Chains A and B, each alone.
Chain A
Amino acid sequence: MPGVLCRVATVLVAAAALAGCGITDTDVLPAGQPVQGGLTENSNQLLRVYFVTQEGTWPVSRPAPAGNRLQRAMNALLAGPTAEERARGLITHLPSSTQPVRARTTRGRVELRLPWQVRNLRPVAVSQLVCTAAAADAGDDPVIEVVEPAMDRPWRVRCDENGSAVPADQGASS
């Protein structure tokens, strides 16, 4: 009888020891289907228009018809996200305006003439404008000159890696 008891106790201790308490390692295990989407057009045939997500600015791809890419990108930005883009959580923080944003390229500089005062705009809205202009321009990391109404001196800014407008004179790229 004591022998049986000893055996049972041993099994018990072994069971308790085998229980293990932590999170164990695993092999590589399948975890569902891949994600589908995007990766369709080449960059040259796309306009990148910056809208706003909860995580910051985000460039959406629009088909790029021939013509003035910069002005078309600005127009698309002012028009706001499409219904499909809104469904994906994209919004714009630019106020609506009857007047367009005039954009033109002169000697490697991009000039944006705004219908609003910059101080009336949210910082993220400025980022939208600057980054969309920067993406539409063919040049590499161009300086954007933002011109307010009734103001001659432009704001010299550029779009940084995080999709934010930063003054062009302070640190070329953050």
Chain B
Amino acid sequence: MIHPSLVRGLRAQLVLVFLLVSVLSAVIAATITFRQGRTAIVARAQADALQDLRAHLASRTPDLPADPTETDLRTLALQLDRAAGIRGWRTALSYRGGPLIATGAQPPLPAQLRTQAATSTTALAQRFHRGQVPWLAVALPVTAAARPQGPPPLVVYASFSLASQQQDVDTLAAAARAGALPVALVAIVPALLAARRLLRPVRRLRTAAERMAGGSLDTRVRVTGNDELADLGRTFNTMAATLQSDAAALRDMEARARRFAADVSHELRTPLAAMSAVTEVIDADATSGRLAPLTAEALQLVSDETRKLSRLVEDLIEVSRFDAGVAVLNVDEVDVGELIGKTLALRHWRDRVRTDVAPGLRARLDPRRVDVILANLVGNALRHGGTAVSVLVQVRADTEQIAVTVSDDGPGIPADLLPHVFDRFTKGDAARTRTDGSGLGLAIATENARLHGGTLTATNAPRGGTILTLTLPRHPP
């Protein structure tokens, strides 16, 4: 009966509940009042009628003989009828269980009342309906003064219409109904006020929670009062404070960890530089053929690992620079084709990599960082694509950005590895940990691309092979 969407809001629910409660109380109060009033009206009518009838009977019965004739009874009925006044009751008399004697037409009497009155020693009353009109019938026994304990010889019946009382009751019902509706309508005003008062702190809390979700952990709500909502506000503030301090601690720990990694890398640099210098001597010794073959092999191993270690340390230092936010972009206007050609030539990849670059394409970018990215992408393609891999570097450009794709016809990247290919220390083959790469190359490439405001993505070509795409804006930030 009430559409769910209408009562979804807290305000609507509050108002509705308030309204229901007030309507319910108004209806109950009106009903109780009405019922009491109705009972009082009917009881008063009955009591008054009985009192009048008793008074008249008490003043007339002393003159009744012990063996009243029908005329005597009829005279009494006439007297009682004439005494009815505005109540308009009609009476009938029954002497010693005899037939009803009345002056005119007999009054309507329920059979139940007649049956019980024949043996009753007390007055009786019964309400009944005749047609649509409520009636009241009473039976009043008259006991002989000489034998008050004996069965009453005479029973006086009277019945009269309660139509005027019915009118009063109808008026009362109309008044009760008319009273309940305005009360319910007036209840909307306090309901709205209460809802507003209740919802204001809730709204403040929601705004604060939204701001906290947006990252401003220093958000606090203003707490007023001492109720449950104020408690909620205080709890919220405590939570925000805890969250803020936790976030600060976490940031602190993270910064310290990064500084540690950077420090370690820097500390390793100097001894590694010395070791690198030594490796050249060792290499010369190992290849001279003057040493025992086992020793030469061992020396070769040491020199390889030392080179790898120094490259790893260089990469780590680069990563920590990015993490610390100290990496800066040295933008220069360069020819993209020339840049790619230099990158390939420097690493002796010219004969293994094909290029497709529009000549004279110029862009503003950091040539050193783009060189690092390209070297990584091409190096990866050459390394993981197998011995006879064919690598193609393509450059496409529009007014907004430059897209450099490095594609190979190798086996491609395993699907489960694809989402993590740019994460740090991700290796193409988990079992084959000892590869040339440090595992940081693509991560560094990504950071470099991001520094330009560009992106780096990896996909597998539908016909096999990997496609790595570098997108750079033509006008970096």
- Whether A8 and B66, one on each chain, are in contact in the complex, defined by CB atoms closer than 8 angstroms, is no
Contacts of A43 in B (CB 8 A): 65, 67-69
- Whether B65 and A42, one on each chain, are in contact in the complex, defined by CB atoms closer than 8 angstroms, is yes
Contacts of B153 in A (CB 8 A): 39
Q: Chain B: interface residue count, which band? A: 35 or more
CB distance from B29 to the nearest CB of A (A): 11
Binary contact track A41-57/B, C-beta < 8 Å → 1, others 0 = 11100100000011110
Binary contact track B110-135/A, C-beta < 8 Å → 1, others 0 = 10110010001111111111000010
Task: Name the one of B35, B67, B121, B146 contacting A34, with C-beta atoms under 8 angstroms.
Answer: B121
Number of interface residues of A (CB under 8 A): 48
B38, B46, B57, B59 pick with most chain A CB within 10 angstroms: B59
Contacts of B154 in A (CB 8 A): 39
Q: Flag whether A40 is at the interface (Cβ < 8 A).
A: yes
Contacts of B2 in A (CB 8 A): 2, 5-6, 9
- Whether A36 and B142, one on each chain, are in contact in the complex, defined by CB atoms closer than 8 angstroms, is yes
- Whether A35 and B140, one on each chain, are in contact in the complex, defined by CB atoms closer than 8 angstroms, is yes
- Whether B169 and A27, one on each chain, are in contact in the complex, defined by CB atoms closer than 8 angstroms, is no
Contacts of A36 in B (CB 8 A): 58, 142-145, 148
- Known contacts A31-B124, A32-B50, A33-B123; is-contact A15 B13 (Cβ 8 Å): no
Cα–Cα, bound, A12→B122 (Å): 42
Selected interface stretch from B78-86, B197-205, B260-268: B78-86
Q: Flag whether B166 is at the interface (Cβ < 8 A).
A: yes
- Whether A53 and B79, one on each chain, are in contact in the complex, defined by CB atoms closer than 8 angstroms, is yes
Q: Flag whether A23 is at the interface (Cβ < 8 A).
A: yes
Cα–Cα, bound, A26→B136 (Å): 10
Interface residue SS majority, chain A: loop
Cα–Cα, bound, A36→B61 (Å): 8
Contacts of A34 in B (CB 8 A): 121-123, 140-143, 152
- Known contacts A1-B13, A15-B31, A29-B124; is-contact A9 B1 (Cβ 8 Å): yes
Contacts of A37 in B (CB 8 A): 57-58, 61-62, 142, 145
- Whether A38 and B144, one on each chain, are in contact in the complex, defined by CB atoms closer than 8 angstroms, is yes
- Known contacts A9-B2, A12-B23, A39-B61; is-contact A31 B122 (Cβ 8 Å): yes
Q: Nearest residue in A to B166 (C-beta to C-beta)?
A: A23
CB distance from A36 to the nearest CB of B (A): 5
Task: Name the one of A11, A23, A39, A163 contacting B127, with C-beta atoms under 8 angstroms.
Answer: A23
A-B contact pairs, 23 of them (CB 8 A): A15-B24, A16-B27, A16-B31, A19-B31, A21-B173, A22-B134, A23-B134, A24-B127, A31-B125, A34-B142, A35-B57, A36-B143, A36-B145, A37-B145, A38-B61, A38-B63, A39-B61, A39-B66, A39-B68, A43-B67, A43-B69, A55-B82, A58-B75
